[in-house]
């Protein structure tokens, strides 16, 4: 945790003796407080991160606001300094993008309140001895890399270290802060399924192959994460509407519960609801009461003119207008990017009444069609799903820290 501010010292000639003695002992107490470290079995985050069940949101609604173009002197420009961070996936490096210089000149301004920029040194000091986990698909990896790269700028010693099941992780040695990423596409365990020679329930309905999704079994990559992390950020969504992977005819998602197929077979939307219900219950039973659990809302895609494999593109060089956002994401239009708000409807409904906090980044991100890698990175198709780094996901981490500070 960050050390308390040292009490100001006054000249004995100007302070009464009794007050000076009180001030002296107060200073000693503050000094001992700042030097004390909790044992490994009791993370320093324990008293800070006690969940207040009565309020799952900070006083400021960070999801409502506007992108404001900042002057060149704005500190936000300093984030360019981590552009060479080795953790940035090649496809997310946008140095050669036409609008690369302008990408970070926009600052998110919430309506009616201030969103401070992420301070990596303050973060490491404040969350000393904490374990922080990102669990989800590649969009959560996008956010994980953003956080790691910003922390690397001020850390003297960083070691690669992966908690059980994690895809990758780092420990910032001086502060004993570990940040890890656990990759999972659906949260639930899934794998290929083929009809057996014996006539089962699915075979009798004509199913020959597909993907078995066990809605009540966490994928092994993150099963132990709730036991390890003090702060955990989940996401899922993009893979649930992925016909190129789960073709509804050739390779449908077949849902199982308690080892048995769910009959009659259900749709991916219904499967998502069941999975979210079970996974949220699993995490709440597994994690300590004073740990902090976030579920990040859906990250919007910005494909126009077709999906990623249909020639879709996102070649904007500045944020969208409110009208453009509604045209692109309205559920009534049922467009290419409809999954964004659709997933959120399921998410909000399932999280109601849980101890999870919602990290709502969707609406603020809907404006930033300019912040995707697009044609950079050497892919055969434009990337209008992931985000450039440095870039938008830095602002997600601004909001994450603001939530933590409000607890």
Contact 236, 299 (CB under 8 A): no
Nearest in space to 144 (alpha carbons), one of 119, 95, 106, 178: 178
| Rounded-to-integer distance, Cα 265 and Cα 205, Å | 9
Place of tokens 């020959």: 208
The number of beta carbons lying within 10 Å of the beta carbon of residue 92 is: 24
In a domain, 288, yes or no: yes
Query: Sign of torsion, CA 332 333 338 341?
Result: negative
Return per-residue pLDDT of the chain as tens, 407 residues.
333 333 333 333 333 333 333 333 343 333 323 333 333 333 333 333 333 333 344 578 999 999 999 887 777 777 778 989 999 989 999 988 989 888 888 999 999 899 999 999 999 999 999 999 999 999 999 999 999 999 999 999 999 998 889 999 999 999 999 999 999 999 999 999 999 877 789 999 999 999 999 999 999 999 999 999 999 999 999 999 887 789 888 999 999 999 999 999 999 999 999 999 999 999 999 998 889 999 999 999 999 998 887 888 999 999 999 999 998 898 887 777 888 999 999 999 999 999 999 999 999 999 999 999 999 877 788 999 999 999 999 999 999 999 999 88
What distance in Å separates the CA atoms of residue 30 and residue 260, rounded to the nearest whole number?
59
> 3-state DSSP call for residue 10?
coil
Q: 214 - beta bridge partners? A: 189, 256
Give the pLDDT confidence score for residue 338 in this predicted structure: 84
Contact 289, 360 (CB under 8 A): no
Given a contact cutoff of 8 angstroms between Cβ atoms, the answer to whether 304 and 314 are in contact is yes
Q: Tell me what pLDDT residue 241 has.
A: 86
**Paired tokens of 381:** 């198709």
Residue bearing tokens 């308690």? 258
User: Is residue 256 one of the residues assigned to a domain?
Assistant: no
For residue 121, the tally of other CB atoms under 10 A from its CB is 13
In a domain, 39, yes or no: no
For residue 264, say if its preceding peptide bond is cis, omega within 30 degrees of 0.
yes
Task: Tell me if 366 sits within 8 A of 325, measured CB to CB.
Answer: yes
Classify residue 358: in a domain, yes or no.
yes
Residue 20 lies in a domain: no
Asked if 316 and 372 count as a contact pair (C-beta separation under 8 A), the reply is: no
- Residue with tokens 């890890």, as numbered in its chain: 180
Q: Which residues span the domain enclosing 114? A: 65-187+222-242+273-406
The total number of structural domains that make up the chain: 1
- Verify cis geometry, omega within 30 degrees of 0, for the bond prior to 390: yes
Element (H, E) at 102: none
Q: Which two tokens stand for residue 9?
A: 């010292």
In a domain, 79, yes or no: yes
Query: What DSSP line would sit under 170-219, residue for residue?
Result: EEEGGGTEEEEEEE-SSSEEEEEEE--SS--HHHHTT--EEEEEEEEEE-
In this prediction, residue 103 carries a pLDDT of 87
In a domain, 45, yes or no: no
Report yes or no: 235 and 138 within 8 Å, Cβ to Cβ. no
Q: For 93-153, give the DSSP string.
A: B-TTSTTTTTGGGEEEEETTS--PPP-HHHHHHHTTT-EEEEEESHHHHHHHHHHHHHHHT
The SS3 call for residue 299 is coil
Residue where the block lists tokens 């895609």:
301
Q: How many CB atoms sit inside 10 A of residue 360's CB?
A: 22
For residue 200, being part of any structural domain is answered with no
Closest CA to 117 of 153, 171, 90: 153
SS (HEC) of 15-83: CCHHHHHHHHHHHHHHHHHHHCCCCCCCCCCCCCCCCCCCCCCCCCCCCCEEEEECCCCCHHHHHHHHC
- DSSP code of 383? B
Give me the CATH number covering residue 228.
Answer: 3.40.50.1110
Tokens of residue 215, six digits? 């809605």
Three-state DSSP at 25 gives helix
Given phi > 0 = left and psi -120 to 50 = alpha, else beta, which region is 76? alpha
What is the Cα–Cα distance from 144 to 157, expressed in whole angstroms? 18
Q: Is 323 exposed, middle or buried (0-12, 13-18, 19+ CB in 10 A)?
A: exposed
Enter the pTM of the model: 0.84
């Amino acid at each position: 945790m960050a050390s308390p501010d040292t009490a100001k010292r006054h000249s004995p000639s100007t302070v009464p003796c009794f007050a000076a003695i009180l001030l002296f002992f107060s200073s000693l107490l503050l000094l001992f407080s700042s030097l004390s470290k909790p044992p490994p079995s009791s993370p320093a985050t324990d008293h800070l991160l006690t969940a207040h069940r009565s309020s799952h949101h900070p006083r400021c609604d960070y999801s409502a606001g506007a992108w404001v173009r900042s002057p060149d002197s704005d500190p936000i420009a300093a984030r360019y300094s981590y552009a060479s961070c080795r953790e940035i996936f090649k496809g997310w490096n946008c140095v050669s993008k036409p609008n690369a210089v302008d990408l970070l000149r926009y600052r998110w301004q919430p309506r009616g309140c201030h969103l401070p920029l992420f301070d990596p040194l303050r973060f490491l000091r404040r969350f000393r001895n904490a374990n922080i986990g990102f669990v989800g698909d590649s969009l959560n990896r996008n956010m994980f890399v953003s956080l790691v790269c910003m922390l690397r700028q001020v850390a003297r010693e960083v070691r690669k270290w992966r908690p059980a099941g994690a895809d990758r992780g780092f420990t910032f040695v001086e502060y004993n802060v570990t940040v890890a990423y656990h990759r999972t596409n659906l949260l639930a365990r899934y794998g290929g399924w083929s009809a057996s020679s014996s006539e089962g329930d699915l075979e009798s309905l004509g199913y020959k192959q597909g993907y078995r999704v066990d809605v009540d079994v966490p994928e092994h990559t993150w099963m132990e994460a709730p036991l390890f992390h003090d702060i955990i950020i989940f996401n899922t969504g993009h893979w649930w509407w992925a016909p190129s992977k789960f073709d509804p005819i050739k390779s449908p998602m077949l849902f199982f519960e308690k080892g048995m197929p769910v009959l009659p077979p259900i749709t991916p939307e219904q499967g998502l609801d069941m999975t979210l219900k079970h996974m949220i219950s699993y995490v709440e039973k597994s994690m300590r009461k004073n740990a902090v659990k976030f579920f990040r809302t859906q990250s919007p895609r910005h494909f126009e003119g077709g999906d990623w494999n249909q020639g879709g593109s996102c070649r904007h060089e500045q944020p969208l207008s409110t009208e453009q956002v509604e045209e692109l994401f309205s559920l009534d239009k049922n467009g290419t990017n409809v999954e964004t708000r659709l997933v959120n409807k399921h998410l909000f409904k399932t999280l109601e009444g849980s101890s999870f906090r919602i990290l709502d980044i969707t609406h603020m991100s809907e404006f930033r069609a300019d912040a995707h890698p697009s044609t950079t990175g050497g892919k055969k198709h434009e990337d209008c799903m992931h985000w450039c780094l440095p870039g938008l996901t830095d602002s997600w981490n601004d909001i994450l820290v603001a939530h933590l500070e409000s607890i």
